[in-house]
Amino acid sequence: MSRGSLIALLVAALALVGLVFANLGDTEDPEQTLQGEAETVPTEDPAPPAIVPLESPPPVLGQALDLTNLAGWLQTDATEFADFDGQVRVVQFWTFGCRNCKNTLENMSHLYTQFEPQGLEVIGVHSPEFDYEANVESIAQAAIDLGVTWPIALDTDKTNFRSWQSGRRFWPRTFVIDQEGQIRFDRIGEGGYDELNSTVAYLVAAGS
Amino acid sequence: MPLLFEGLEAAILPCSLILLIPGAGVALAARQRAAVALIGFGVGALLLSWLRFSDRGGSLGNGLAAVMLAGAVVLLVVPLVRRIRFVAAAGGFIAGAAAATLWQPCVGSEFGQLLTELPQRGLSGLALLAFYMLGLFAPLVVLGAALSLLPSSALRLVRLPMLVAGAGVLVILAMSTAAGLTDDLVGQLVEWSVA
């Protein structure tokens, strides 16, 4: 590789990194923004967008597995996954140190608030990527800090993270399970919120 | 483009360290061949990731990954073969494939969409994954370019420390992978960086 092309490569890489950091810098801290607004103009939380149910049944993607070998549960009296049988369940594999997982929580919170009274249960399966994420007190504190109010299953040794995801394992991964225990939605990573919400709305309505 | 930018953002996340640390090791161990070794590393990581994430195979297991990392050290460090450039690329390729075996990514929205569709996509999936990984490997591109730009006089001075550091990183990773401790090792690095 010639010296000139290397310099061009270096400059291009630096420019790309600069663009990303400029982009990150533009991202507003929601907490700061809310605090700033509270000092000047009292505002109410905007209503979450209306959720429209799917028009046709979501496809059956397979049968959900059990959650086994858990180190315990937080924020629930449940002691096993079967305690939620017969309910529509959103099962999300997450870990509190994962930025992409945190980005999904706002939508999950809206979904839980809206559909929990109609029988939805959200189960956050906490599968730590690193040792420091396995500490139960840290998980409980993170749940408070991040506004996670739904049950948390402690998948400390990642048994379920591996068995539910076989060869393709990611944080976060979100499944929707219907009342019969069938998987009706599977999403890797952030996003797909409209489809997730519409699937839940359909299944909850179909079961009522 | 959104995939490239999401890859760039992921480059600063702890989940990516398991790819970037061995990449840095390859660059240092390859010394003046850092650029070509890193190209091999990128291609190896890309191909293995594509195989794994598209359900076409590629799950090699930690034992084989450890052996591959150790093999990469040999190829990068021991200059026994005349075609050094090719050997450096091969060492990088093997190390990249091993690192991709260990990689468990955190996934943003664009990458998530790609991963969800990857088993159904053909080679277009590979091309899109390449865009993402180009962003993810931006720090390695910078490192490789910087090492290649070092004047030979300076390179002569730092050659041995670079070799020891690069090979050391890969050997420690190989040993910790063989012992099943890679997550603990990277986790400790993340905890230190957060502190």
pLDDT value at A43 more than 90: no
Flag the least confident range among A156-160, B41-45, B148-152: B148-152
Beta strand A173-177 with A182-188: parallel, antiparallel or unpaired?
antiparallel
Let me know whether A70 and A139 are in one domain.
yes
Closest CA to A186 of A167, A202, A203, A172: A172
What is the number of domains present in chain A? Answer: 2
Let me know whether A98 and A160 are in one domain.
yes
Let me know whether A94 and A183 are in one domain.
yes
Can you give the pLDDT at residue A25?
A: 39
pLDDT band (50, 70, 90) for residue B40? very high
Range of the domain at A32: 3-40
Let me know whether A22 and A121 are in one domain.
no
Burial A117-151 (b: 16+ CB within 10 A, else e): eeebbbbbbbbbbbebbbeeeebeebbeebebbbb
Most confident range (mean pLDDT) of A76-90, B53-67, B97-111, B116-130 is A76-90
pLDDT value at A192 more than 60: yes
Q: Is A105 helix (H, G, I), strand (E, B) or coil?
A: helix
Residue A133 included in any domain: yes
Beta-bridge partners for A126: A94, A154
Can you give the pLDDT at residue B145?
A: 87
Residue A191 included in any domain: yes
Let me know whether A147 and A178 are in one domain.
yes
Across chain A, what does the average pLDDT equal?
83
Let me know whether A95 and A29 are in one domain.
no
Let me know whether A69 and A156 are in one domain.
yes
Task: Pick the more confident residue, B65 or A113.
Answer: A113
- How large is the average pLDDT for residues B154-177? 89
Largest Cα–Cα separation, chain B: 51
Question: How many CB atoms are closer than 10 A to CB B113?
Answer: 20
Tell whether A164 is within 8 A of chain B (Cβ).
no
d(CA B12, CA B19): 12
CATH of the domain at A162: 3.40.30.10
Let me know whether A133 and A200 are in one domain.
yes
Contacts of A129 in chain B (CB under 8 A): 14-15, 104, 183, 187
Let me know whether A86 and A36 are in one domain.
no
Let me know whether A107 and A157 are in one domain.
yes
Can you give the pLDDT at residue A82?
A: 96
Question: What is the percent of chain A where pLDDT is above 90?
Answer: 65
Residue A55 included in any domain: no
Can you give the pLDDT at residue A28?
A: 36
d(CA B6, CA A87): 35
Whether the predicted model's global pTM rises above the 0.80 cut: no
Q: B189 burial class (0-12, 13-18, 19+ CB within 10 angstroms)? A: middle
pLDDT tens for A130-166 read 888 999 999 999 999 999 999 999 999 999 999 999 7
Residue A56 included in any domain: no
pLDDT value at A44 more than 80: no
Phi and psi based region of residue A29 (left: phi greater than 0; alpha: psi -120 to 50; beta: remaining): beta
- How large is the average pLDDT for residues B65-85? 79
Residue A45 included in any domain: no
Residue A52 included in any domain: no
d(CA A148, CA A171): 16
Contacts of A22 in chain B (CB under 8 A): none
What ipTM was reported for this prediction?
0.72
d(CA B41, CA B136): 13
Let me know whether A145 and A199 are in one domain.
yes
Can you give the pLDDT at residue A97?
A: 87
Contacts of A9 in chain B (CB under 8 A): 141, 145
Can you give the pLDDT at residue B194?
A: 61
Across chain B, what does the average pLDDT equal?
87
Between A and B, how many CB-CB pairs are < 8 A? 121
Q: How many CA atoms lie within 13 A of A13 on its CB side?
A: 20
* Contact between chains at A20 and B9 (C-beta distance less than 8 A): yes
Tell whether B117 is within 8 A of chain A (Cβ).
no
Contacts of B148 in chain A (CB under 8 A): 1, 6
Let me know whether A99 and A197 are in one domain.
yes
d(CA A49, CA B187): 38
Mutate to test the interface with B, among A5, A11, A19, A20 (most CBs of B within 10 A): A20
pLDDT value at A87 more than 90: yes
d(CA A130, CA B68): 24
pLDDT tens for A167-189 read 778 899 999 999 999 999 999 99
Residue with tokens 């730009």: B149
Residue A70 included in any domain: yes
Residue A119 included in any domain: yes
For chain B, positions 26-85, list CB contacts with chain A under 8 A.
35-36, 52-53, 55, 59
